């Protein structure tokens, strides 16, 4: 097998929870922070780590209201990439 396909470090992904600043899961602000984390993860090409850190998968219906607000904010601020990602999430 080619060495290009062999995972040698055993922990390349590290701890996704350390890459995303999230409140405790029982905090009322967790879902909003999770929506932000998923969109930021997508922006950096690291959706998997964001999903792992939040416990939510891309497109989670529970996060829709938060993503809709993020989408509106992104459009108002002219952040085209974030608006595009939010639209994809909401499909």
32, 49, 19, 23 alpha-carbon torsion, rounded to 10°:
30
Domain-wise residue ranges, the chain: 27-90
CB 89 within 8 A of CB 58: yes
- pLDDT tens digits, residue range 33-75? 999 999 999 999 989 999 999 999 999 999 999 999 999 999 9
pTM of the predicted model over 0.95: no
The closest alpha carbon to 33, from 17, 44, 48, belongs to 17
The closest alpha carbon to 21, from 36, 5, 8, belongs to 36
What is the distance between the alpha carbons of residues 30 and 24, in angstroms, rounded to a whole number? 7
Question: What local confidence, expressed as pLDDT, does residue 10 receive?
Answer: 46
- DSSP three-state, residue 55: coil
């Amino acid at each position: 097998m080619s060495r290009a396909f062999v995972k040698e470090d055993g922990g390349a992904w590290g701890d996704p929870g350390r890459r995303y600043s999230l409140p405790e899961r029982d905090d009322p602000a967790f879902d909003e922070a999770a929506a932000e984390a998923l969109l930021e993860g997508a922006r950096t090409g690291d959706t998997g780590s964001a999903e792992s850190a939040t416990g939510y998968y891309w497109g989670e219906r529970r996060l829709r209201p938060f993503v809709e607000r993020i989408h509106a904010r992104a459009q108002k601020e002219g952040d085209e990439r974030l608006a595009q990602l939010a639209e994809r999430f909401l499909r």
